[in-house]
Amino acid sequence: MSDAVDRRRRIKPRGRIELRHTRALRGVSDEKALFSIPTRQAKPRTIGLTEVRGPYYTALGKRYLEDLFETMGEHIDSLKFAGGAFTLMPPPALRDIIRLAHSYGVRVSTGGFIEYVVTRGPAAVRDYLKACQVAGFDVIEISAGFISIPMADYIRLIKEVTGAGLNAKAEIGIQFGAGGASRPEALEEQGTQSVKWAIERARRSLDAGAFQIMLESEGVTENVRTWRTAVPAKFATALGLEKIMFEAADPEVFSWYVKNFGPDVNLFIDHSQIVQLEALRRGIWGMAEMWGRVARFAG
């Protein structure tokens, strides 16, 4: 008897496997109960939010994102464009992506772009917000990392966004000129801004109607020689964790945030890291220093 014939005889027909699976499911009311893992707040969440980066480093279309949302959509709260990526897309493709995200309960953010628009004047900003409404965006991110803008004007921008019926997200940082994979040497030449003033800008942004603060990672954990871990701690102490989302560009960074602030910290990561982060939040996987060290106590 040939090896090929012998192998075919040993392989069990696929139909029997599927039948056995169907029998095993009888009596299981919720298929999620098949695998018992620690739970956390269901969507729409108020804590432990995860925002993922959409098209920027990778050109993500509807079919790619459909796979992402179908498998991991339960763990994704918002999708953020970056670098004005959405302006480079055909409008129908952009609307398809936004509709798909909404069908999985995922909000969609513009990411950074209004800082480009604002240099063209107030009329351009209002036209931009109307276009965002038509496209279906939920969140307009407002950053001052690349431009120097008076605090009063920054507050007016937030009110302009909220007045248009959109959610304003204030991106606050301590590093001027950051972004686009800037080199640490180049950022060192720019210098860092006052942490106290950055916190004050964040506080006034919330008072003006911003629903959330994004703390940029540049100058804190990204493009630096040594992490400035005191900065996120000062933000958390001054504003509370619920209103802050921390940018965590690498697994080492989001592991540090979970380790120090707990599994319900709000984090912005790349879409490729969603499985790794959620497994860490649930305490079912992690790097050596975090393995078996994420716990909950629910009364």
Tell me: the pLDDT tens digits for 27-69? 555 555 677 788 889 999 999 999 999 988 888 889 999 999 9
Of 36 and 2, which is predicted with more confidence?
A: 36
Of 266 and 177, which is predicted with more confidence?
A: 266
First to last CA, the chain: 64
Question: With helix as H, strand as E and coil as C, how does the chain read?
Answer: CCHHHHHHHHCCCHHHHHHHHHHHHCCCCCHHHHCCCCCCCCCCCCCCCEEEECCCCCCCCHHHHHHHHHHHHHHCCEEECCCCHHHHCCHHHHHHHHHHHHHCCCEEECCCCHHHHHHHCHHHHHHHHHHHHHHCCCEEEEECCCCCCCHHHHHHHHHHHHHCCCEEEEEECCECCCCCCCCHHHHHHHCECCHHHHHHHHHHHHHHCCCEEEECCECCCECCCCCCCHHHHHHHHHHCHHHEEEECCCHHHHHHHHHHHCCCCEEEEEHHHHHHHHHHHHCCCCCCCCCCCCCCCCC
136-163 confidence digits (pLDDT tens): 999 999 987 777 889 999 999 999 999 9
pLDDT of residue 107: 98
Span 168-187, mean pLDDT? 72
For 49-75, give one letter per residue: b (16+ CB within 10 A) or e.
Answer: bbbbbbbbeeebebeebbebbeebbeb
Tokens standing for residue 273: 């890291």
CATH architecture for the domain at 40-282: Alpha-Beta Barrel (3.20)
pLDDT of residue 297: 74
With bands split at pLDDT 50, 70 and 90, how would you rate the model's confidence at 2? low
Contact 142, 114 (CB under 8 A): yes
Task: Tell me whether strands 50-53 and 78-80 are parallel, antiparallel or unpaired.
Answer: parallel
pLDDT of residue 190: 62
Span 228-257, mean pLDDT? 95
pLDDT of residue 144: 74
- pLDDT above 70 for 234: yes
What's the CA angle centered on 22, arms 27 and 41, to 5 degrees? 60
Which residue's entry shows tokens 């640490």? 184
Percentage of the chain lying above the pLDDT 70 cut: 81
Of 12 and 227, which is predicted with more confidence?
A: 227
218 C-beta neighbours (distance < 10 Å), count: 25
CA distances (Å), 203 to each of 23, 73, 157, in order? 57, 31, 15
189-208 confidence digits (pLDDT tens): 566 778 999 999 999 999 99
Which residue's entry shows tokens 């079912």? 284
With bands split at pLDDT 50, 70 and 90, how would you rate the model's confidence at 17? very low
204 C-beta neighbours (distance < 10 Å), count: 16
Contact 76, 107 (CB under 8 A): no
Span 234-251, mean pLDDT? 95
Span 224-251, mean pLDDT? 94
71-120 confidence digits (pLDDT tens): 999 999 999 998 899 999 999 999 999 999 999 999 999 998 998 999 99
pLDDT of residue 86: 95
